[in-house]
Structure 1
């Protein structure tokens, strides 16, 4: 990998060219607006054994059970960090296990040579930047300008949608633009005073860090999603648009002889899954016709539609009740191993009964009471069954702690319910992070602790129900903290997509983390009733996490969602070419593979 400082100069010139072009007398597709300012711009080249899509790892390297090693664990190079970040994000999103069909039946890990352009961008009113990155393949066709713009799933770093947008767009010669949408893995360690620079390496305060939060606290770990003070979810759509604007600027730099690249002469398709799916739907509502089409997979979207519930509402409800409710259900997927989990879930039932949240004279009655409460609030059996995974991995609590801090715009030392983030020792007491842990954060972390050596430290560690009730109360209560958090949640509510914009929404009917009953279904119903061009694929036997289909029981029960995202991209691309119509709404009757290799017949792809 080589860095070209001269390209930074070209990028600045390209920005000026783009600004002048927007004032031309031709009819642009979108109204003239100021281009955002970008900082810490870098350009790197990736060819041979270090390509754009997998950093030379290919499918075999991505399937490796251990990450690519650092030559010096405390001081990895930018190229080592990038390769490991790609490995981590591929494995966090896609089912790469043999028999799962990736790279054979669907998807690509082809070696794609090209260049990367990256920078920090800041939306108006925000105090902290978000990352933007553009991958420009050498096979980009300046005569058929194609740009795919995406946002990371979950709270992942800048490569958090590589398996979604990169895997589809790069082999087709499209440029792909990414944003971490104000979250990501730019952690800051208060003990050492170190954070993450533009190239992923560690630096001290004042050394151009991606996130450097001032706080009176002197110990622990801060990160953007929880501690930026910006409530980044409220700006997801603007994050996506800025990534697209940076892509046009980068294409001007990459192909100055073909400049300017504008929204008027470049096809732009937005795609994302999970939080990234919500982000591209938020981009769809922005003024101007800068987008040509949107594909949103399993989107976390909160709308005005009937039945819509915000993530924080159903997450805190699940965190409290689901461990107990699952005891009422049979045939749960493994893991978590029911025999090992049952004693803990039984304790939860008793604790919920003692606080008056459920009824019942014994565990069976208490479990049914918790189950009935969830069913009454719209949970389906399919979502509850798949939600066992989130219970087993403690995802509900992790999401609730981070999002409460984000929605309320709390600083590191002021998080609600007494939570903070730090490394923990073997006795679960706070400790300093190690140099090796800090060096790997940017590539290894998922953006929400616990993970990568960072954990949640609770005020009441011996009484988990106390913390969960406090977090739930931020939605159901009416004190100052609850009003503060609910105000932040209200800022994330989505509007309708732009009239005439083709949108395809895909969601697994068994999604247990972002249930479609609370997200996709109300959004689509509202949009279609308002005359918007939104199509909806409901995929039977698909849950939220393709990456967990490598677990035998999950692979036997569930189908991956990514094949349908790629197929929807194919369909909207063909529609924009004028060779096909948009797909119709469909309830896709899949067939679980029951332990056998995945075949096309299992997917029952719509025609």
Structure 2
């Protein structure tokens, strides 16, 4: 299955030029390899060197620097340099995705934090029909293996910025001598402060020049806007094409880096896609694109929406959880801590009473009301493992945060037109809207996860009152999922645009998912996707990992570390095995992993029980 190199003329564009002049050289010769409207253009191209104490993988921070409890500082807190913003973004994204805590095994049992010198190539790319660009980035290590050309292409998890998959794709691909191509898939942390007229420039620093801002929406009156919610493009509908464009940019970057070895094309270069969460959904969407440009896919805990029995759209189960789960968790024992049950019980009890008043649960007391909410969630497919892990999303208000952003994105609403009245802004201690400070803006790009609240930006709720003040807004969000008015139909149309198809025939795909995932439950996503794909004869495999939930980064919390195993080791192992499969080995088999929680012990291989490769048949 090794690719045969096909020589053809390559247009070696300089970094100051658009790829439009040579887009054809970065595609296979067969016109079916892409849709006819997908001519790619890259703009705002720049390159930088990262060697010595500023490498590609950790910006020189290494394990000790990434484990630091406070982020790298800016010499001027209001005016960071681009290099400072990059280093801090790497710190934030590593900590948000990987378990780097002592005893967790990262860098010793699995994964790599070794310094990788090399170059970065940045650009903006725009899919046809979109009004806003997405960021693409290619890291080319100095040790790029020109005799065994490989690209690992990835998309950020959640709504993270361009470095949002560094711990997933970069940590696996860069030490192996592969180039790694990233996209923020139309989301990211290019916030825009409408009060001050300040956005984020290409290097991640604040800019008062709208022409230099990556995202500067028209018509935003006040507060903060960001691409995922307010681009007007419903970027999730194009996540597969975002991934494809990142891979195309990687071919261009390699031609720039090694002109004597050109051409770099899909015929002569191995391309493996990998992502987790939303990034996992994005690479599965890329898998369905026409042409044989992509060689293999590994999708971890993917947010994927298919038309199949048991499948549920993200917005559907998120708005359901936002309403019912706080009440239901009162009836679930052995919840992980935090959230501290004693502290949140009064709030959850108030939710039960609100639901009863709204006719959404039955019962005359909190115990019976919580049982009613729990029975509804179980009947709708929630497992007890997902509910326990979902306590984290309740405690950190993630359900509401996700629902507010996605309602805006699916409905293509501007920042001041959310159908439920939500806005985003810096907030005071009383949660009232206020102007952002220069110090807050300086860290938005580095510290933000792409969906507020966080990094000094909060959700401004519609008028709140009563013992459960957020309930009216949550009911409005839920009505957009199940209602039939104009706004509901608008949001539902956007959701339908994100429905996934089958992967390309013959493309090897491995899906890895934690059985106890409480944010993107496996029963709603990976299981129906894999079942449908396998029934259609596609080469798709599923690794189910008991005792794994959604957030490796939260394994730094002692109770989470004791009861859950990380998912990243299985993603890396799946990458190893599909890479070996492309060299002639067998395709990994379906597996239910025999993982074991480590309790208070140091994580070791016996806890993980990573699936071993199936032996190749005798020849």
- Provide the TM-score with structure 2 as the length reference: 0.94
1:198-220 alpha-carbon deviations (Å, 9 max, x no partner): 111111243321101001x4320
| Range moving further from structure 2, 137-146 or 8-17 | 8-17
1:46 aligns with 2:50: yes
Question: In structure 2, what is the equivalent of residue 128 of structure 1?
Answer: 132
Question: In structure 2, what is the equivalent of residue 478 of structure 1?
Answer: 484
CA, structure 1 residues 238+13, in 2 after alignment: closer, same or farther (shift >3 Å)? closer
Correspondence list, 1:22-37, <5 A: 30=33, 35-37=39-41
CA, structure 1 residues 147+450, in 2 after alignment: closer, same or farther (shift >3 Å)? same
Would the aligned equivalents of 2:35 and 2:290 in 1 still touch at CA under 8 Å? no
Question: In structure 1, what is the equivalent of residue 375 of structure 2?
Answer: 372
CA distance in 2, matches of 1:499, 1:17: 29
Question: In structure 2, what is the equivalent of residue 588 of structure 1?
Answer: 593
The CA deviation at 1:28 is 9.1
Would the aligned equivalents of 1:293 and 1:572 in 2 still touch at CA under 8 Å? yes
CA, structure 1 residues 582+469, in 2 after alignment: closer, same or farther (shift >3 Å)? same
Correspondence list, 1:60-139, <5 A: 60-139=64-143
Would the aligned equivalents of 1:22 and 1:32 in 2 still touch at CA under 8 Å? no
Partner residue of 1:297 out of 284, 300, 321: 300
Look up the SS of the partner of 1:291 in the other structure: coil
Partner residue of 1:542 out of 548, 570, 584: 548
Question: In structure 2, what is the equivalent of residue 502 of structure 1?
Answer: 508
1:125-157 alpha-carbon deviations (Å, 9 max, x no partner): 000000000000000011211000000000000
CA, structure 1 residues 11+569, in 2 after alignment: closer, same or farther (shift >3 Å)? farther
The CA deviation at 1:461 is 2.6
Would the aligned equivalents of 2:299 and 2:510 in 1 still touch at CA under 8 Å? yes
Partner residue of 2:453 out of 444, 450, 464: 450
CA, structure 1 residues 355+14, in 2 after alignment: closer, same or farther (shift >3 Å)? closer
Would the aligned equivalents of 1:297 and 1:506 in 2 still touch at CA under 8 Å? yes
Gaps of 5+ in 1: 1-6
Partner residue of 2:398 out of 392, 395, 400: 395
CA, structure 1 residues 20+347, in 2 after alignment: closer, same or farther (shift >3 Å)? closer
CA distance in 1, matches of 2:166, 2:34: 30
Would the aligned equivalents of 1:148 and 1:174 in 2 still touch at CA under 8 Å? yes
The CA deviation at 1:23 is 8.5
1:319 aligns with 2:322: yes
CA, structure 1 residues 20+119, in 2 after alignment: closer, same or farther (shift >3 Å)? closer
Would the aligned equivalents of 1:234 and 1:492 in 2 still touch at CA under 8 Å? yes
CA distance in 2, matches of 1:242, 1:386: 35
Look up the SS of the partner of 2:529 in the other structure: helix
Question: In structure 2, what is the equivalent of residue 211 of structure 1?
Answer: 215
CA, structure 1 residues 339+574, in 2 after alignment: closer, same or farther (shift >3 Å)? same
Partner residue of 1:432 out of 420, 432, 435: 435
The CA deviation at 1:238 is 0.4
1:147 aligns with 2:147: no
The CA deviation at 1:14 is 7.4
CA, structure 1 residues 572+200, in 2 after alignment: closer, same or farther (shift >3 Å)? same
| Range moving further from structure 2, 304-313 or 179-188 | 304-313
CA distance in 1, matches of 2:470, 2:231: 26
1:362 aligns with 2:365: yes
CA, structure 1 residues 342+125, in 2 after alignment: closer, same or farther (shift >3 Å)? same
Would the aligned equivalents of 2:111 and 2:172 in 1 still touch at CA under 8 Å? yes
CA distance in 1, matches of 2:19, 2:518: 45
Question: In structure 2, what is the equivalent of residue 3 of structure 1?
Answer: none
| RMSD over equivalenced CA pairs, Å | 1.5
How many residue pairs match? The answer is 597
1:337-375 alpha-carbon deviations (Å, 9 max, x no partner): 000011110000000001100000111000000000000
1:533 aligns with 2:536: no
The CA deviation at 1:22 is 5.5
| Range moving further from structure 2, 51-60 or 418-427 | 418-427
Would the aligned equivalents of 2:18 and 2:43 in 1 still touch at CA under 8 Å? no
- Provide the TM-score with structure 1 as the length reference: 0.96
Look up the SS of the partner of 1:133 in the other structure: strand
Gaps of 5+ in 2: 1-11, 613-619
Would the aligned equivalents of 1:30 and 1:263 in 2 still touch at CA under 8 Å? no
Look up the SS of the partner of 1:347 in the other structure: helix
Correspondence list, 1:274-293, <5 A: 274-293=277-296
Question: In structure 2, what is the equivalent of residue 4 of structure 1?
Answer: none
Would the aligned equivalents of 2:20 and 2:42 in 1 still touch at CA under 8 Å? no
Question: In structure 1, what is the equivalent of residue 275 of structure 2?
Answer: 272
Would the aligned equivalents of 1:475 and 1:486 in 2 still touch at CA under 8 Å? yes
Look up the SS of the partner of 1:470 in the other structure: helix
Would the aligned equivalents of 1:510 and 1:540 in 2 still touch at CA under 8 Å? yes
CA distance in 2, matches of 1:31, 1:340: 54
1:600 aligns with 2:605: yes
Would the aligned equivalents of 2:19 and 2:42 in 1 still touch at CA under 8 Å? no
Question: In structure 2, what is the equivalent of residue 562 of structure 1?
Answer: 568
1:33-65 alpha-carbon deviations (Å, 9 max, x no partner): 664111100100000000000000001100000
CA distance in 1, matches of 2:443, 2:332: 40
Would the aligned equivalents of 1:30 and 1:290 in 2 still touch at CA under 8 Å? yes
CA distance in 1, matches of 2:27, 2:275: 28
The CA deviation at 1:172 is 0.4
CA distance in 2, matches of 1:541, 1:604: 12
